[in-house]
């Protein structure tokens, strides 16, 4: 199948797109990949929807803004894909299927008292009708309803991507988005995956709140600052880090107020150190013999030189830290490729989540397909 995959992350920066030819088990070929920045009106709407979602009580009616946001997300994907397809000389009819994640506005992990709750907004029917192609979407709901974490979902693709370039297990793939998540492909090819902690999300929020732009470009602010060891220690002492994986996070799960008393540079330095330390701690859940010799880093955070240097220092003697691009992976397109791959698995009735990735009792199918 030839599939166009889409991803919009919690950074609310862009629509990522990638073309993949796959049967959902192996990767046959890679087509074009690219991104289109979100239009400001859509970004503002999704920021409001996220704020309202975070205050939405369980059992209460769905906030009215969700429906408006679903339409806006569908329109944003059409706008982005229209120019992407034209740029690469493609047509909608060239695709067997679209794989669309939708925009996450809420993610609450399960507890012993309740199942989790996760919301990805997308008007999939509107998108399918407009482009004339079937759309696979809603990849997380079934897993959460079954008691799973609903995240991360890319691990089965990380394993396929590693096979496609001949990497033997053990393999480690890290995505540095709003939240950081890692996939460990173990020597027996079983998967262990979980959110390690924050990546760029908390840093972005501080930079934006203080009127210094959207993000810490290249890690320049963090490099100019000093880590507050007391704040860092308090963040690392939170119960999440003692919780056995699989486990998942929302970008708002850690208190941004913890750095309110710090300068912008010191706040960025401390939060960058928090990301680095939480990734390094992820290795503690693996026996020494299963720790991969290389950590492949994808996502926007790999462009943060200060963060990458910190990871290299923290994992010295354990794993060499390499950008995904150095291995020929498309570091900005991995998640869009992953949802193309998951769309193929959904179409074929193959599982997309596993006991070692989301904590479900047994491998689970997921996703829904709407047709024009």
Q: Is residue 205 domain-shared with residue 348, that is, in the same domain?
A: no
In this structure, are 220 and 277 located in the same domain? yes
pLDDT for the residue 189: 87
- 3-state secondary structure at position 119: strand
291 is a domain residue: yes
Q: Is 300 contained in some domain? A: yes
Question: Does residue 35 contact residue 16 with C-beta atoms inside 8 Å?
Answer: yes
- Phi then psi for residue 103, to 5 deg, are -100, 120
Among candidates 327, 278, 271, which has minimal Cα distance to 298? 327
Q: What pLDDT shows up at residue 208? A: 95
Predicted pLDDT at 11: 85
The pLDDT value recorded for residue 108 is: 95
How many independent structural domains does the chain possess? 2
Look at residue 158 and tell me if it is in a domain. no
**CATH code, domain carrying 116:** 3.30.420.40
Q: Are residues 106 and 185 in the same domain?
A: no
The structure's pTM equals: 0.95
What is the predicted pLDDT for the residue at 10? Answer: 85
Q: Are strands 171-176 and 135-137 parallel, antiparallel or unpaired?
A: unpaired
Q: Can you give the length of the chain in residues? A: 372
CA torsion, ordered 215, 216, 217, 218, to nearest 10 deg: -140
Shared domain for 221 and 351, answered yes or no, is no
Residues 179 and 95 in one domain: no
Same domain, 312 and 363: no
Identify the segments of the chain with pLDDT beneath 70: none
State the alpha helices, DSSP H only, in the chain. 40-54, 65-87, 124-131, 141-145, 155-164, 201-209, 220-224, 229-236, 264-282, 305-314, 334-348
Domain with 8 in it:
2-153+333-370
């Amino acid at each position: 199948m030839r599939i166009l995959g889409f991803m919009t992350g919690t950074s609310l920066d862009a629509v990522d797109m990638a073309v993949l030819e796959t049967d959902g088990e192996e990767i046959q070929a890679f087509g074009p990949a690219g991104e289109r920045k979100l239009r400001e009106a859509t970004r503002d709407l999704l920021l409001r929807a996220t704020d309202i979602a975070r205050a939405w009580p369980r059992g209460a009616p769905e906030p009215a803004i969700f429906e408006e946001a679903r339409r806006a997300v569908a329109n944003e994907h059409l706008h982005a894909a229209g120019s992407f397809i034209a740029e690469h000389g493609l047509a909608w009819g060239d695709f067997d299927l679209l794989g669309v994640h939708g925009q996450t506005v809420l993610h609450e992990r399960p507890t012993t008292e309740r199942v989790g709750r996760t919301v990805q907004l997308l008007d999939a029917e509107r998108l399918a009708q407009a482009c004339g192609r079937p759309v696979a979407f809603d990849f997380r709901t079934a897993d959460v309803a079954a008691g799973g974490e609903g995240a991360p979902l890319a691990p089965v693709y990380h394993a396929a991507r590693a096979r496609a370039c001949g990497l033997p297990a053990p393999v480690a793939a890290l995505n540095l988005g709003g939240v950081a998540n890692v996939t460990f492909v173990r020597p027996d090819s079983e998967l262990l995956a979980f959110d390690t902690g924050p990546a760029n999300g908390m840093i972005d929020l501080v930079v934006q709140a203080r009127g210094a732009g959207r993000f810490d470009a290249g890690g320049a602010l963090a490099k100019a600052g000093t880590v507050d060891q007391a704040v860092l220690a308090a963040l690392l002492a939170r119960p999440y880090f003692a919780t056995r994986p699989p486990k998942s996070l929302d970008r708002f799960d850690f208190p941004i107020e913890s750095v309110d008393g710090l300068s912008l540079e010191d706040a960025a330095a401390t939060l960058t150190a928090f990301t680095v330390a939480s990734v390094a701690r992820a290795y503690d859940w693996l026996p020494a013999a299963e720790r991969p010799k290389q950590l492949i880093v994808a996502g926007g955070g790999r462009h943060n030189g200060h963060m990458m240097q910190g990871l290299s220092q923290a994992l010295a003697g354990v794993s060499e830290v390499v950008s995904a691009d150095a291995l020929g992976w498309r570091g900005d397109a991995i998640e869009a490729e992953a949802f193309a791959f998951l769309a193929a698995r959904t179409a074929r009735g193959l599982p997309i989540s596993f006991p070692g990735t989301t904590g479900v009792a047994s491998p689970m199918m997921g996703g829904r397909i709407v047709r024009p």
